[in-house]
Amino acid sequence: MEARDFVTVEDNSKIEEFRTGDTVRVGIKVREGERERIQDFQGVVIRNRKGDSDGSFTVRRVSFEVGVERTFLRRSPMIDSVSVVKRGKVRRSRIYYIRGLSGRSARIKERR
């Protein structure tokens, strides 16, 4: 059996530590023709899969009364930065129940 060389991908240092229930602002690199810019996607983390090479997290926001969810790979080169806007207090690791809530009932208490 041969020894294989594994290529290690460095972690993105601009990703702040966050948990499920936190409101985060994700800076995504968007290419428009020859130019590249950073577009922010801000919402609540409803799922946070931790893993070495295959970690991902899902962010949900409501835009024009329509729920929009986006899943990001933790080691994706398209992610410029992740910053925590507000810390949320939840008791579950996957808060899919928030999809069926609206208005004040969809609010998450702040963790201090």
pLDDT of residue 38: 96
Residuewise pLDDT in 10s, the chain (112 residues):
455 444 444 556 678 899 999 999 999 999 999 999 999 999 999 999 987 678 899 999 999 989 999 999 988 899 999 999 999 999 999 999 999 998 899 899 998 8
Within a domain: 17: no
Q: Is 10 part of a structural domain of the chain?
A: no
Whether 111 maps to a domain, the answer reads no
Query: What does the pLDDT read at residue 27?
Result: 95
**Residue 82 covered by a domain:** yes
3-state secondary structure of 63: strand
Residue range(s) defining the domain that contains residue 27: 23-100
Structure tokens that stand for 110 in this block: 């702040």
∠ CA 44-36-24 to the nearest 5 degrees? 10
The count of structural domains within the chain is 1
Q: What does the block give as tokens for 101? A: 């809530």
The residue written with tokens 């999809």 in the block is 99
Residue 108 counted as domain residue: no
At residue 56, the pLDDT reads 92
What CATH number does residue 89 fall under? Answer: 2.30.30.790
pLDDT for 12: 63
The burial of 39, by beta-carbon neighbours within 10 Å (0-12 exposed, 13-18 middle, 19 or more buried), is given as: exposed
